[in-house]
Structure 1
Amino acid sequence: MIFESLPTTPRAEELLDKAFSRAARSGRSKSGFEAQESMLVTASNIVSDNLENIVTAWPDFDTVDPFYRELADAVLRQSTFSRETPEGDTDGIDALRGSLSEVTWASRQIREIRSEYQTKLRNSNPETGRKHRKQAFARIADILDEISDDLLRIGAARDALRDLPDVRPDEPAIVVAGYPNVGKSSFVNRVTRASNEIASYPFTTKGVQMGHFERDRIRYQIIDTPGLLDRPEAERNDIEQQAISALEHLADAVVFLVDPSGDCGYPLDAQLELRDAVEGRFATRGTPVLTVCNKTDRSRDVDADAYMSVTEGEGVEEVLDLAVGAVDYDPDIPRRGSTPESASGL
């Protein structure tokens, strides 16, 4: 997963302490001009290199798959990252980009300070050289103080994103939708027959469940997202709406489960109304939505694309075959909406 390997972001005071303590050690073995220059170069290199590494560890969001880009933006807007963002400032990915840009600026400024004061040191006596080195250290400290909030925001963003489920935009994905208690989790468990990943998004009330299965040596992802596609659109907040927008980029097919018996606690009319809304939303990307009647051992009283009973093991494989056919995945052809970068994997 693209955010999983992001390193811990140091606080400004931690980075400064590290740089100055190593600089002091580097100067002990030297004297005069060489000692002051060694301390200057050591401290400035440690700070500028660490700041540069913080920025380069992050992916370029312009080349990130649209699923992860929109999902990351939604997560950041909902997480503690937002509380680190100044009131009235931009939010989400834009705020993160702003902080990364500030850190890049700081890294370059510190390199310029190093060059400026190296020249001053070469043209000064030992006592003046010591004053120049201390001036350089003070300016480095001021720059780190200036970006201290940006480092906190980057650290909060890293913490919010690093544990997202390992969804792979370059693999075909089937999203399972429908009201609660219609059998979505049971279906995912049944067709994957394995320990499925359970992970949480900050905007969902239950863990997102994801499993995998294979057909003709192609691995398919199958995903149940409780809290998103299980209630009418009017009941979702802006963050949840954006998360669904991310799913639109990911899904190659949607399996919408209905329970005509009503045992799930929701009348059939309401279930079909939600189905129609999901169809309308995913139709903009040409994503097929299959209506699947579950709990056929209790009722089949609905017009559906397929019928099954997960608890009885009836019709499950046929539903899975129908979903695979709807995906119509050809590994030699880039997926719908993918860029050359995402088609080759992240």
Structure 2
Amino acid sequence: MNALLRGESIRMPMIFETLPTTPTSEELIDKAFSRATRAGRAKSGIQAQQSMLQTASNILSDNLQNIVTAWPDFEEVDPFYYELADAVVNVDEIRKSLSEIQWASRKTKDIGREYQGKLRGDINYARKVRKQGFARLASIVEEVEDDLDRINAARNDLRDLPDIDPADPTVVVAGYPNVGKSSFVNTITNARNEIAEYPFTTKGIHVGHFERDHIRYQIVDTPGLLDRPADERNGIESQAVSALTHLADCILFFVDPSAYCGYPLDAQLELRDSVEEQFGDVPVLTVCNKSDLSTDVEADLYMSIEEDENVTGTLDAAVEAIGYEPELPFDG
């Protein structure tokens, strides 16, 4: 059961939202050298040059390191969030950029030590050496300018990922447009306040919650993703669907046998079959919605949201299919 296996991963529905802004190379250099100038004013002679060099080196090294450590270890990110992140920003590219910034952090520290050892002799020579050290420091930071820009752009994109907790048992609602998916989610949850657009869909993901036996369940409607055949999805959408395979514990696939939704029943059932194939062992329950108009389809459940018929029963069936049992503390 997917939900029971997620406990080993970090629970992080908000982890990307808290990523700090990444400064540009110019901002880092200006910050380091202005602080160094102030530090130099507090001393005189060679000591002033030593203080300036040490301050600039420390600020650059520490700030670059802070950029790296602010990011999560992607090896520990829940597979759901890993694949969503990879769909939006390409995780391998982010790792490479973080590695380059880590290198720059170490290099600026090393340059500071190297040039400290050269600061001797008369003040004019020491000032010349310190300026050479500053030039080397600036060159290292400029070398990772593109990496800093890439990290900040990724941070901005990832802040828009959905606030979904992969540890919660989750029902995913699928089916063609206009078959009643959003109406169902809105009816059983407070999802009207939880609708947002994300980089992999222009229509927004609907996320709601409900409780059964003191257990919190998520229910997710994904317009733009699971409402059309796989060959009509772009690359980002396909990877977002792949991420959902790590999230879903049960899928309610809605069909409208009356075809009032605008799609023939055969096409709806073909989409259902493709969803079943893509989600592997996840239980998929076929829900005949609008049963007040037609029940001319073989389905697991028959329901009419319009007539308030079997809405609760459909939800009960999803909960039963998930079979979630929370881990209880060891007694005795």
Give yes or no for TM over 0.5: yes
Q: TM-score range by the shorter chain?
A: over 0.9
Structure 1 residue 222 and structure 2 residue 235: aligned?
no
Q: Which amino acid aligns with 2:242?
A: S
The Cα offsets for residues 51-83 of structure 1, whole Å up to 9 and x where unpaired, read as 10111111111111111111101012xxxxxxx
- Aligned runs of 1:257-276 on 2, under 5 Å? 257-276=254-273
Equivalent residue for 1:16? 29
The Cα offsets for residues 163-208 of structure 1, whole Å up to 9 and x where unpaired, read as 2111111111111000000011111101104543112222212011
**CA separation in 2, counterparts of 1:51 and 1:58?**
12
Q: Which amino acid aligns with 1:19?
A: A
What is the CA distance between 1:37 and its match in structure 2?
1.2
**CA separation in 2, counterparts of 1:295 and 1:148?**
57
1:332 aligned to 324, 327, 330, which one?
Answer: 327
Give the TM-score taking structure 2 as reference length: 0.93
What is the CA distance between 1:125 and its match in structure 2?
2.6
1:132 aligned to 104, 129, 134, which one?
Answer: 129
| Gap runs ≥5 in structure 2 | 1-13
Structure 1 residue 318 and structure 2 residue 313: aligned?
yes
2:146 aligned to 145, 149, 174, which one?
Answer: 149
Aligned length: 315
Q: Which amino acid aligns with 2:285?
A: L
| Gap runs ≥5 in structure 1 | 77-91, 334-346
**CA separation in 1, counterparts of 2:88 and 2:308?**
37
**CA separation in 1, counterparts of 2:53 and 2:326?**
54
Asked if structure 2 preserves the Cα contact closer than 8 Å seen for 1:48 and 1:111, the reply is: yes
Deviates more, 1:298-307 or 1:177-186: 298-307
SS of 1:47's equivalent? helix
Give the TM-score taking structure 1 as reference length: 0.89
**CA separation in 1, counterparts of 2:122 and 2:303?**
87
Asked if structure 1 preserves the Cα contact closer than 8 Å seen for 2:160 and 2:199, the reply is: no
SS of 1:207's equivalent? strand
Asked if structure 1 preserves the Cα contact closer than 8 Å seen for 2:185 and 2:191, the reply is: no
**CA separation in 2, counterparts of 1:282 and 1:50?**
43
What is the CA distance between 1:274 and its match in structure 2?
0.7
Equivalent residue for 1:252? 249
Structure 1 residue 120 and structure 2 residue 81: aligned?
no
Q: Which amino acid aligns with 1:8?
A: T
Structure 1 residue 297 and structure 2 residue 292: aligned?
yes
2:64 aligned to 51, 73, 81, which one?
Answer: 51
2:198 aligned to 198, 201, 208, which one?
Answer: 201
Deviates more, 1:236-245 or 1:18-27: 236-245
SS of 1:219's equivalent? strand
Superposition RMSD in Å: 1.2
Structure 1 residue 32 and structure 2 residue 45: aligned?
yes
- Aligned runs of 1:73-84 on 2, under 5 Å? 73-76=86-89
Percent identity, aligned pairs only, is 67
The Cα offsets for residues 258-299 of structure 1, whole Å up to 9 and x where unpaired, read as 01111100011110111111111112xx11001001111211
The alpha-carbon distance between structure 1 residues 236 and 100, as it changes in their structure 2 partners (threshold 3 A), is: same
